[in-house]
Chain A
Amino acid sequence: MTPTRTVASSRTPVTAAPRRRHTAPLAFLAPFLIPFVLFTLVPVGYAFWQSLHKTERTGGTFGRTETVFAGFQQYADVMSEPFFMESLLRVALFALVQIPVMIALALTLALLLDSAVARLKRFFRLVYFVPYGIPGVVAALMWAFLYDPRLSPVVEVLRSVHLDVDLLGPDAILWSIGNVVTWTYTGYNMLIMYAALQAVPADLSEAARVDGAGPWTIALRIKVPVIRPALVLTGVFSLIGTFQLFTEPQVFRAISTSVTSTYTPNLAAYSLAAGDHYSEAAALSVLLAVATFALSFLFLRFTARRQG
């Protein structure tokens, strides 16, 4: 073994290889980088460019259209629309309530599955993960039927105990959407945490147990701090997902008048584009992407500081 390694580290004897080794990384990277540039970087740049320009019609209604530079005017326009703050606050409220609920549920399940107490672990792990395999559109469709007062067994049960809630009404719809998101992603988040828990050294919990720590103490004081990176990861992913919320509200629009065309920022961007307001839509998309970046960054900073 040792002789081989020595030869390898003194690279000179291998002829022609150094040259190849300069081009090789590029050759391996190019097949990914070309589509990456075309379908990720260029669209981002294009959206930004477009957000700074607007289309003007010169010479009356039937005149030519012209693209002119308008600076940040589109941004100002979009931000002055009432739907901008409304939709942003709506997803912020959603994030404040739904993400902690989902993460707490996922963490509880992961800790239980990891502890010796739980039975039938394989079965439960699989069952909890099933919703993630179901496409968001299909999940929203199913729940839409389950919320529909004419079809829903859930509403029937609620009525029988005199709880008359309209799950598709303006007050409840946000939380009805929250339920769909929680249902879909709890198992996924649980699995990430569960995988991280597997890496917690068994002697650590063992030592704590010998010292007389109960299962709750072990879970909260030893296991949770160790899997903190996994918790932060799921938190960031959930945050990004929430601010992009689109599929569920879009599906619910078909059956509920409570979901307006500007219900979430993303839905608003889609509606703007559908109405040919491309520049405003681009400005809104850019704002949303920047806000998502900033929030993820702040969240990471915040959790990192608390850890230290």
Chain B
Amino acid sequence: MTLLTRTEGAHAPSPVRPRRAPRLSTVPVFVFMVLVAGYMLLPVYWLLVSATKSQSDLVDTPGLLPAEWHLGDNLSALLTQQDGVYVRWLVNSLAYAGAGAAVGTLLAAMAGYALAVYEFKGREAVFSVILGGVLVPATALALPLFLLFAEVDATNTFWSVFLPSIVSPFGVYLSRIFAAASIPGEVVEAARIDGAGEWTIFRSIALRMMSPALVTVFLFQFVVIWNNFLLPLIMLQDERLYPVTLGLFTWQSQTSRAPELQTLTLVGALVSVVPIVITFLLLQRYWRAGLAAGAVKS
């Protein structure tokens, strides 16, 4: 309906045109949007340029102009520093964020599906408690989590960062909305009459219908875990367990003693951004659709 109306408007016969109100001038708008784009891209551009410079050029040459090409040297220095600890950090981050978001999305999908499809006693109460979880600041959880893990002697382990990361109340909230919107009750009933078990219905029907939304849930949780800083900062002492963000932070805080780490921090930052940007670009179609659905519903 809406689409049709809009198309009609665009191809409106000429008599309507002159009655249009004066248009917002295109040129100032374009200039404004280019300026904002410049603001958004400036740090990224600066990072790209700086990552190609040697340590001395970084300090001595103008920041926004390229100097002698040193990216290769910088990269090999990055990969060999402290026996290749950087690669280790990247792998850790991928494990924390990739596996964590995958598991978390599955759990959120199941819970959201159950809350949308079944009617049972206490459903709204459970949902309210989960929603309350959205509002609990993640940073308020980090300290008590550390103390709890300390009780069972499990701090400074992979699991101490991974396990708390798989909980995504916001993912459950989104999943419930999407499940309610995209899975018709008749389809579930029909499958039941055909003799399908509840798990089969979820796996083969519901998951497929929810999949665009689940990509959104996955992406947002991936970003949240990838960006998480306080929890690993508090939990981990062993450098070999660090995610890449924490690793870069420790390098940055050592630059006053070891200035050569400045270049490594910059190149490391650049390399660490690449996987996340690629993921976002590849899945662009999905997260936009999911975001739209979420916004419409809320």
Nearest opposing residue in chain B for A143, CB measure: B43
Instruction: Flag whether A46 is at the interface (Cβ < 8 A).
Output: yes
Most chain A beta-carbon neighbours within 10 Å: one of B26, B248, B252: B252
Q: Do B24 and A117 have beta carbons less than 8 Å apart?
A: yes
Interface residue stretch chosen among A70-78, A85-93, A96-104, A188-196: A188-196
Stretch from A58-66, A168-176, A201-209 forming part of the interface with B = A201-209
CB of A301, distance to nearest CB on chain B (Å): 15
Minimum Cβ distance to chain A for residue B15 (Å): 12
Given contacts A137-B248, A289-B137, contact A118 B172 (CB under 8 A): no
- Which B residue's beta carbon lies closest to that of A24? B198
B46 touches A153 (CB 8 A): yes
A119-B26, A133-B280 as given contacts; A142 in contact with B292, CB under 8 Å: no
Within 8 Å of chain A (Cβ to Cβ): is B192?
A: yes
Rounded to whole angstroms, the CA-CA distance of A108 and B33 in the bound complex is 10
Check B62–A156 contact: CB distance below 8 A: yes
- Specify which of B33, B281, B295 is in contact with A118 (CB 8 Å cutoff): B33
Closest chain A CB from B198 CB (angstroms): 4
Within 8 A of B (CB), among A180-233: 183, 186-187, 191-192, 195-196, 198-199, 201-203, 206, 209-210, 212-216, 229-230, 233
Q: Which residues of A contact B199 (CB under 8 A)?
A: 27
CB within 8 A of A130: which of B40, B190, B229? Answer: B40
Contact B21 A213 (CB under 8 A): yes
Among A33, A137, A273, the residue within 8 A (CB) of B227 is: A137
With known contacts A8-B190, A138-B272, A145–B288 Cβ distance under 8 A: no
Closest chain B CB from A108 CB (angstroms)? 8
Contact of B21 with A214 in the complex, beta carbons under 8 Å: yes
Known contacts A17-B192, A230-B298; A138/B136 CB under 8 A: no
A162 within 8 A of B: no
Label chain A's interface by main secondary structure.
helix
- By beta carbon, the residue of chain A nearest B120 is A25
Question: Is B11 on the interface with A (CB-CB < 8 A)?
Answer: no
Please determine whether B148 and A46 come into contact, CB atoms closer than 8 angstroms.
yes
- Please, how many angstroms separate the alpha-carbon atoms of A293 and B133 in the complex? 11
Would A31 and B40 count as touching, CB distance under 8 A? no
Cβ of B69 within 8 Å of any chain A Cβ, yes or no, is no
Contact, CB under 8 Å: B248 / A285: no
Report A-chain residues with C-beta under 8 Å of the C-beta of B197: 20
Q: Do residues A138 and B137 form an inter-chain contact, with CB atoms below 8 A? A: no
Contact of B144 among A8, A43, A130 (CB under 8 A): A43
Most buried by A among B129, B137, B145: B137
Contact of B169 among A36, A44, A192 (CB under 8 A): A36
Closest CB-CB distance, B284 to chain A, in whole Å? 8
> In the complex, which residue of chain B has the Cβ closest to the Cβ of A36?
B167
Beta-carbon contact of A31 and B147 below 8 Å: no
On chain A, the residues within 8 Å of B198 by CB distance are 20-21, 24, 27-28
Among B108, B234, B298, the most chain A Cβ lie within 10 Å of the Cβ of B298
**B282 part of interface (Cβ distance < 8 Å):** no
Q: How close is A294's CB to chain B, nearest CB, in angstroms? A: 11
A202 touches B107 (CB 8 A): no
Indicate if the CB atoms of A136 and B229 lie closer than 8 Å: yes
Q: B47: CB under 8 A from chain A?
A: yes
Q: Does B181 contact A (CB under 8 A)?
A: no
What range describes how many residues of B lie at the interface?
A: 35 or more
Q: Closest chain B residue to A20 by CB distance? A: B198
Q: Are B190 and A183 in contact (CB under 8 A)?
A: no
**B87 is an interface residue with CB less than 8 A from chain A:** no
Most chain A CB within a 10 A radius of its CB, from B32, B64, B145, B246 = B145
How distant is A192 from chain B, measured CB to nearest CB, in Å? 6
Residue contact B144 to A285, C-beta cutoff 8 Å: yes
Interchain CB contact (< 8 A) of A244 among B6, B138, B148, B249: B138
Query: Which residues of B are found within 8 Å of A202, using beta-carbon distances?
Result: 2, 5-6, 9
Closest to A17 in B: B192
Task: List residues of chain B with CB within 8 A of the CB of A151.
Answer: 58-59, 63
A261 at the interface (CB under 8 A from B): no
- State how many angstroms separate the Cβ of B249 from the closest Cβ of chain A: 5
A199 neighbours in B (Cβ, 8 Å):
292, 295-296
Contact residues in B for A273 (Cβ distance below 8 Å): 143, 146, 234
A84 to chain B, nearest CB (A): 16
The answer to whether B23 and A117 have CB atoms under 8 Å apart is: yes
Known: A138-B245, A247-B230. A8 touches B166 (CB 8 A): no
Residue of B nearest to A199 (CB): B296
Q: Do A43 and B141 have beta carbons less than 8 Å apart?
A: yes
CB-contacts of A249-289 with B (<8 A): 250-251, 254-255, 266, 269-270, 273, 278, 281-282, 285-286, 288-289
Residues 6-56 (chain A) with a chain B CB within 8 angstroms: 7-8, 14, 17, 20-22, 24-25, 27-29, 31-33, 35-36, 38-44, 46-47, 50
What is the chain B residue whose CB lies nearest that of A291?
B137
Partner of A35 from B167, B186, B246 at Cβ < 8 Å:
B167
Residues of A within 8 A of B129 (CB): 41
**Beyond known contacts A183-B40, A196-B296, A240-B135: 12 more, CB 8 A cutoff:** A4-B193, A33-B111, A39-B141, A50-B144, A135-B245, A143-B43, A156-B62, A199-B292, A202-B2, A273-B146, A281-B143, A282-B143
18 CB contacts below 8 A, A to B, read: A4-B190, A4-B193, A14-B193, A29-B110, A31-B111, A42-B148, A44-B136, A50-B147, A126-B281, A135-B226, A137-B246, A145-B262, A146-B46, A146-B63, A214-B22, A230-B298, A233-B298, A286-B140
